[in-house]
Amino acid sequence: MNTAVDIRGLSVRFERGGSSVTALDRLDAVVPEGHVFGLLGPNGAGKTTLMHVLLGFLPPTAGQASIFGTDVRRAIARQRIGYLPEHPDTYRFLTARELLHTAGRLFGLRGRDLRSRSDALLERLDLTAAADRLAGTFSRGMLQRICLAQALINDPDLVILDEPTGGMDPFGRLRIREMIAELKARGKTVLLSSHELSEVELVCDTIAILYKGSVITAGSAAALVPAGESLERFFIRTIEAVDAGAADHAGKGAAHA
């Protein structure tokens, strides 16, 4: 199987008022093509930062990452990506349909192709009835769905979704889950972050738990989580074990000092 995303020893440090924050710490991960890969991790673990590096928004301090074999520092790596940001927003003075037509034209789509692809996405994301309304009148969940439709207009091979179901009602979540299953069925790769562990368990082939900028464990939910334990319980236990290990280590260090 080919590799969609290859991340090796990736570090990102932010300088903040004279001190530095390590957002990613020698992170390694491989996402095979056609997989749905879920990034879990507490607030501040580094999920969004990792996505920003893959999207070329942030240069890594050390290490490297590639998408379909192309280094993410090269703009061409981004031509096959669709991206839903953590706090999606768009041009509120355009209607949903106009937004999709505008986004599609940026990728060279025209005429009947553009119209049929836009209509299909509006339908798929339950926005047909709102197609000719200004995005400025949309609820949060609707805004999220039109931004996802925009991200998919170019039929990307890698779809990066930063908390795609945050703020969505159960119907919206179901739509997103169905969209992800469809993308996978068509051989696309999906990298998503989420705090909704039950959703993650349903859609992801592989999950990676990120903490303090590193992957602390990765694999399929079935392989990672012991029978009878929930993914949520496993997640909390895993993070607590790292903290306990760090405290233990610090304690030993102090004893030696």
Ligand X SMILES: Nc1ncnc2c1ncn2[C@@H]1O[C@H](COP(=O)(O)OP(=O)(O)OP(=O)(O)O)[C@@H](O)[C@H]1O
Residues present in the chain in total? 257
Say whether 162 sits in a helix, a strand or coil: strand
Q: Are 130 and 138 in contact (CB under 8 A)?
A: yes
Binding to Mg ion (CB under 5 A) within 10-49 occurs at 47-48
Using the rule CB under 6 A, is 47 a contact of ligand X? Answer: yes
* 219 is a site residue for ligand X (CB under 6 A): no
Cβ contact 13:22 at 8 Å: yes
Output 14 or 171, the one with its CB closest to ligand X. 14
**According to CB under 6 A, which one of 27, 29, 31, 45 is a site residue for ligand X?**
45
Q: Could you tell me the CA-to-CA distances from 2 to 5, 32, 187 in Å, in that order?
A: 9, 6, 11
Q: Which residues are within 8 A (CB) of 249 and not within 5 positions of it... i.e. 6 or more apart?
A: none
Footprint of Mg ion on residues 59-88 (CB under 5 A)? 86
Beta carbon nearer to ligand X, 86 or 205 = 86
3-class SS of residue 141: helix
Of 2, 17, 19, 43, the residue at the interface with ligand X (CB under 6 A) is 43
> What, of Mg ion, ligand X, none, does residue 246 touch, CB below 5 to 8 Å by kind?
none
* 189 binding Mg ion? (CB under 5 A): no
x/- map, 72-101, ligand X, by CB under 6 A:
--------------x---------------
Quick check: 165 binds Mg ion (CB under 5 A)? no
| 194 is an interface residue for Mg ion by CB under 5 A | no
Residue 46 engages ligand X in binding (rule: CB under 6 A):
yes
Bridge partners for 29 per DSSP: 7
- Give dist(CA 242, CA 65) in Å, integer: 26
